Amino acid sequence: MRREWKPEDLIECWTMDEAEVELLANKSGATRLGFALLLEFFELERRFPRREDVPRAAVEYVAGQVGVEAAAFAGYRWSGSTTEYHRRQVREFYGFRTATVADEDKLVFWLAEQMCPKEMSRDRLRAALLTRCRAEKIVPPTPTPGQVERLLGAAESMFERDFTARTAGRLGPAAARLGELIAVADPDPDAGGEPGGMRSFLQELKEDRGPIQLETLLAEIVKLERVEALGLGEGLFDGVTEKVVEGWRARAMRMYPSDFAAAPEPVRLTLLVALCWMRRTELTGDDREHVEVSALALHLIAASIAYLNTHLIQIVLREEAWRKRLTDADRRGLSALFWTHLNLYGRFELDMNNHLADLPPAA
């Protein structure tokens, strides 16, 4: 409920009609004002308020309608038999009923089946629950906020059990290969990574890929090939939104191998699949061929730059004076090509005695 109200909004939302005024016939003082505010608040929110939920501007406006000082609202009692009677009157007037245990079970099933596969935000799930209660003409489980949180927690737990069991059941032989991702000890902070200073594939999947460069792109393609070698298949997350999968991936990013090992198997496998699945999606999107062509283009550019650098160095070294003057350290300072080529698959021995063909003159 918003706290600030303009006069025109108060008139539109908090003005009592004749039928509502009739319910005040035998009420006076704080009871009259408190009941009127209870009635109007429920009409707007379809739930009962706490004292602090009622805006001050609404108290003053409704007090003027019912002929009671606004200060009398402080004397309205929010618990006891009188309050329960008032709430029953309000429910009957608007055609609502209190939630039974069966109603709460239905709400939990509805949240788990319809909302949790789409949304992970507690605030949005709570709003969906209240909207559902209004549609079913059920008073939300109040006044204790913990009752609503209990229903949300039960729905999330039910969804997690169903979701993880379904995902694990779709994996087939890939489940065993996923288990190998956590077959290492927790990383040693003093070693800067995994035991012995080595990074596991799981750690690589969790790392940010950094800016797009040739080396990082080629490394990501290697990761993609390793992910696809797991044989995860398609349709593992049918029935849930990408937002939910991303939430599970974020959860996996915060976990160590020992955390995965301690989790129930369906949960562990779902977390690992979400991590691999979203990493693959980040790299390939909908078109892996486009990514591979981009990598080849970057590789071609790198090779062209290496060719030009080599040619420029050869122009300098054609002069005998420079050849004799430059030491090995000087040559290494000119270019890394004196040690290795940009070929990532092995050492390239560069023979500076055999010159590349001259480039054609500029047009």
Judged against a pLDDT cut of 70, whether residue 183 lies above it is answered with no
Judged against a pLDDT cut of 70, whether residue 335 lies above it is answered with no
What does the pLDDT average to over 88-109?
A: 90
Confidence of residue 35 (pLDDT cuts 50, 70, 90): very high
> Cα angle at 73 between 68 and 74, to 5 degrees?
140
Strands 97-98 and 138-139: parallel
Confidence of residue 283 (pLDDT cuts 50, 70, 90): low
82 in helix, strand or coil? helix
Burial class of residue 277 (count of CB atoms within 10 Å of its CB; 0-12, 13-18, 19+) = buried
Q: What is the pLDDT of residue 199?
A: 55
What does the pLDDT average to over 261-287?
A: 80
- Measured N-to-C along each axis, helices 214-229 and 265-284 cross at an angle, to the nearest 10 degrees, of 140
Judged against a pLDDT cut of 60, whether residue 203 lies above it is answered with yes
Average pLDDT, the chain: 80
Judged against a pLDDT cut of 70, whether residue 134 lies above it is answered with yes
Confidence of residue 195 (pLDDT cuts 50, 70, 90): very low
What does the pLDDT average to over 46-71?
A: 90
Judged against a pLDDT cut of 70, whether residue 337 lies above it is answered with no
Confidence of residue 198 (pLDDT cuts 50, 70, 90): very low
What does the pLDDT average to over 236-242?
A: 89
Judged against a pLDDT cut of 80, whether residue 329 lies above it is answered with no
What does the pLDDT average to over 183-212?
A: 58
- On whether the CB atoms of residues 283 and 223 are closer than 8 A, the answer is yes
Residue listed under structure tokens 């009739």 = 22
What does the pLDDT average to over 102-123?
A: 92
Judged against a pLDDT cut of 50, whether residue 243 lies above it is answered with yes
Domain segments of the chain: what residues? Answer: 7-95, 98-171, 176-286, 301-363
What does the pLDDT average to over 146-161?
A: 91
Q: Which helix (H) or strand (E) holds 98?
A: strand 97-98
- On whether the CB atoms of residues 271 and 263 are closer than 8 A, the answer is yes
Judged against a pLDDT cut of 60, whether residue 326 lies above it is answered with yes
Judged against a pLDDT cut of 70, whether residue 348 lies above it is answered with no
Q: Cα dihedral sign for 240, 244, 245, 248?
A: negative
Rounded to whole angstroms, the Cα distance separating 152 from 146 reads 10
Q: What is the pLDDT of residue 191?
A: 46
What does the pLDDT average to over 115-124?
A: 92
Does a cis peptide bond (omega within 30 degrees of 0) precede residue 141?
no
Q: What number of helices (H) and strands (E) belong to the chain?
A: 17, 2
What does the pLDDT average to over 203-213?
A: 69
Provide CB contacts within 8 A for 142, sequence distance 6+.
47, 48, 148
Kindly compute the dihedral angle of the four CA atoms of residues 278, 281, 282, 283, in this order, to the nearest 10 degrees. Answer: 130
Judged against a pLDDT cut of 60, whether residue 2 lies above it is answered with yes
22 in helix, strand or coil? helix
Rounded to whole angstroms, the Cα distance separating 207 from 221 reads 14
Q: What is the pLDDT of residue 212?
A: 62
- On whether the CB atoms of residues 86 and 35 are closer than 8 A, the answer is yes
In the chain, the percentage of residues whose pLDDT exceeds 90 is: 26
Provide CB contacts within 8 A for 232, sequence distance 6+.
171, 174, 273, 276, 277
Confidence of residue 197 (pLDDT cuts 50, 70, 90): very low
